[in-house]
Amino acid sequence: MFRKIVLLTLLTAFSGSLFAASAEERAQTAIDTRQGLLKVVASYFGPIVGMARGQIPFDAAVVEKNAGKIAQLAPMLEDVFAKDTRESGLQSGAKDGIWEDMADFKGKAATTTERAIALANAASQGKGPTMKAFGALGASCKGCHESYREKDEG
């Protein structure tokens, strides 16, 4: 009995907060979520940029681990961009084209996943092959940004 009440209370609280959110709040949450995912992607990408620039020593184990994480995160891009926020009028770096050609957007995310896997595999082959694979991964980020991210957002 007690358990049932707890469960009901939890369910009510959860659905309450879910349905109480306004359309604008839901759009803002979607924007925060996708930007958050990309921040996490960048947090794994950043150390490899440092290695490529010679700012930190090359570390194959870190490259392999971080590339593996990016390969796990990139497939989430299509999920966190599923919500169309074009009509919200809220500020974000996402271009409208994402929701005009979602298949192309998903394809670009899939390229990033493939190249992150290739980078993880290249890491054990030394710095040269690793940095070549890293260049390809970086080009896949850029490829999507050029089409779908506002320029002044970086």
Structure tokens at 60: 């194959």
Contacts of 111 (CB under 8 A, 6+ apart): 140, 143
Nearer to ligand HEC, 4 or 39 (CB): 39
State the Cα–Cα distance between residues 144 and 76, nearest whole angstrom. 15
Least Å from the CB of residue 115 to ligand HEC: 8
Nearer of residues 11 and 96 to ligand HEC, judged by Cβ: 96
| Minimal distance, residue 15 CB to ligand HEC, in Å | 27
In whole angstroms, give the CA distance from residue 77 to residue 110: 9
Nearest to ligand HEC of 10, 136 (CB atom): 136
The minimum distance between CB 117 and ligand HEC, in angstroms, equals 12
Do 141 and 108 contact (CB within 8 A), yes or no? no
The SS3 call for residue 126 is: coil
Binding site for ligand HEC (CB under 6 A): 31, 34-35, 38-39, 41-42, 45, 70, 77, 92-94, 105, 108-109, 112, 137, 140-141, 144-145, 148-149, 153
Give least dist CB 30 to ligand HEC, A: 9
Q: Which is nearer to ligand HEC, 105 or 117 (CB)?
A: 105
Q: What angle do the packed helices 60-73 and 23-52 form, to 10 degrees? A: 160
